[in-house]
């Protein structure tokens, strides 16, 4: 069904790197979400009134909020499609994140309302009616929501949309919510226990969690996220695959929307290379990354020594000392300046974000102390940095 809808309504659906195709995916997701959730809202609202169930009614309004969310998502996708202008030279792609952030507050509001109503019914419980037809209809709504979750997850993966992935997670939460509602109806029929209010509380907790997670997922790219490790590996592997590039560091990715990404990176090149030749290579890398990955990247060249054995020996010495003190730390931009009375070892030291300022200073002191033990002439000029890459465990 998902592939059929994509083929019917999205032209050039396989060219997901194009902004227009990405927008078409977003519109399809929103329209399908609006239609399904309005149908579910009307059905559950009627059932809720007929059987006097607060949990079913709350679940219905949760579906209505989902429909409103799809409308806001549709508006956000269309606004994000607008091209760059003089006031917004990086485009309007972040409208997609802003719309999802607004949606999260609607979901949270529904969750709080549901919690309040359910708490009242826990204090003053009421028996609810029972009908197998109603149970079957609610069961069908579970299947619809499960399909919606899979539908949005599939589209989200295809165009790498965090908003669609969040919508998928929200739909999956609705599956659990409605399932809990059906269970409360059946338990009430079998045992006579009025657990509708308690189930309503469970519903509200799921809704609140979904709203919080969507807010978190959409706020992070607005604030500025660390570089995903897979994206980092993909870009650095491509940069370092070109002749003349020895290594790279300091990759920074700026997200101006799912299809509007800029990046900067430092590429290490031999210090004796012809500048015009390496500049041509750098230009080629920038063009190729833009064409293949859709990322506008600016590459800074860092000349490094690769022939002087004495410099390389000192560099390896420093790397060994740093790794012994902190395995997660790295160094780059290593240079040696020889003087009559001292030898300056100049480099950048990258430490984990978990380090406090005191820990940074302690590591800095130990590195300098261990280096001076080898030769008292060594003087360190060290710049402390943090990595811009997310830890693998965070993904």
Boundary-marking domain end, from 307, 341, 364: 307
Q: What is the pTM of this model?
A: 0.66
Distance CA 76, CA 97 (A): 8
Neighbouring-strand partners of residue 266: 249, 300
Can you give the CATH number for the domain in which 270 is found? Answer: 3.30.70.1350
Can you give the CATH number for the domain in which 69 is found? Answer: 1.20.1510.10
Do 156 and 87 belong together in one domain? Answer: yes
Decide if 322 contacts 329 (C-beta within 8 A).
yes
Do 109 and 212 belong together in one domain? Answer: yes
Boundary-marking domain end, from 285, 307, 329: 307
Do 274 and 391 belong together in one domain? Answer: no
Distance CA 147, CA 160 (A): 19
Do 91 and 124 belong together in one domain? Answer: yes
Q: Which residues of 73-98 are buried (b: 16+ CB within 10 A; e: fewer)?
A: bbebbbebbeeeeeeeeebbbbbbbb
Question: Does residue 287 surpass a pLDDT of 90?
Answer: yes
pLDDT tens across 60-98, in order? 887 887 787 778 777 877 787 787 788 888 778 788 788
Question: Does residue 314 surpass a pLDDT of 80?
Answer: yes
Decide if 282 contacts 301 (C-beta within 8 A).
yes
Do 317 and 261 belong together in one domain? Answer: no
Boundary-marking domain end, from 307, 335, 364: 307
pLDDT tens across 32-55, in order? 989 998 988 888 888 878 777 776
Domains in the chain, number: 3
Q: What is the pLDDT of residue 394?
A: 43
Do 179 and 312 belong together in one domain? Answer: no
Do 259 and 313 belong together in one domain? Answer: no
pLDDT tens across 325-372, in order? 999 899 998 999 988 789 999 999 999 888 888 999 999 999 999 999
Distance CA 244, CA 271 (A): 11
pLDDT tens across 136-193, in order? 878 888 899 899 989 988 988 888 776 777 777 777 777 877 777 777 778 877 877 7
Q: Which domain holds residue 369?
A: 308-395
């Amino acid at each position: 069904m998902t592939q059929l809808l994509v083929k019917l309504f999205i032209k050039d659906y396989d060219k997901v790197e194009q902004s227009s195709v990405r927008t078409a995916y977003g519109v399809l997701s929103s329209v399908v979400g609006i239609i399904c959730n309005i149908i579910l809202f009307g059905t559950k609202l009627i059932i809720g009134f007929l059987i006097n169930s607060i949990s079913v009614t709350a679940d219905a309004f949760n579906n209505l909020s989902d429909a409103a969310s799809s409308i806001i998502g549709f508006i956000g996708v269309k606004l994000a499609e607008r091209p760059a202008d003089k006031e917004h030279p990086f485009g309007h792609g972040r409208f997609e994140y802003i719309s999802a952030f607004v949606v999260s507050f609607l979901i949270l509001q529904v969750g709080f309302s549901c919690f309040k109503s359910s708490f009242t019914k826990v204090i003053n419980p009421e028996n609810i009616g029972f009908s197998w037809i109603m149970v079957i209809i609610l069961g069908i709504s579970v299947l619809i929501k499960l399909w919606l979750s899979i539908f949005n997850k599939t589209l989200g993966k295809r165009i790498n949309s965090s908003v669609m992935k969040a919508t998928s997670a929200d739909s999956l939460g609705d599956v659990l919510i409605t399932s809990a509602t059906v269970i409360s109806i059946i338990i009430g029929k079998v045992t006579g226990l009025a657990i509708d209010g308690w189930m309503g509380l469970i519903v509200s907790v799921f809704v609140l969690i979904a709203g919080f997670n969507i807010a978190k997922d959409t706020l992070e790219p607005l604030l500025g996220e660390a570089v995903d490790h897979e994206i980092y590996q993909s870009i650095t592997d491509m940069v370092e695959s070109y002749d003349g590039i020895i290594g790279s560091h300091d990759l920074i990715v700026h997200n101006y929307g799912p299809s509007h990404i800029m990046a900067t990176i430092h590429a290490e090149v031999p210090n004796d290379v012809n500048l015009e030749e390496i500049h041509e290579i750098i230009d080629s890398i920038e063009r190729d990354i833009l064409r293949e990955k859709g990322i506008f990247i600016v590459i800074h060249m860092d000349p490094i020594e690769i022939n002087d054995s004495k410099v390389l020996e000192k560099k390896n010495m420093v790397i060994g000392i740093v790794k012994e003190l902190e395995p997660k730390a790295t160094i780059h931009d290593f240079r040696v300046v020889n003087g009559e009375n001292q030898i300056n070892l100049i480099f950048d030291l990258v430490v984990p974000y978990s380090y406090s300022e005191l820990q940074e200073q302690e590591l800095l002191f130990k590195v300098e102390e261990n280096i001076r033990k080898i030769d008292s002439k060594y003087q360190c000029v060290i710049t402390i940095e943090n990595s811009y890459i997310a830890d693998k465990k965070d993904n």
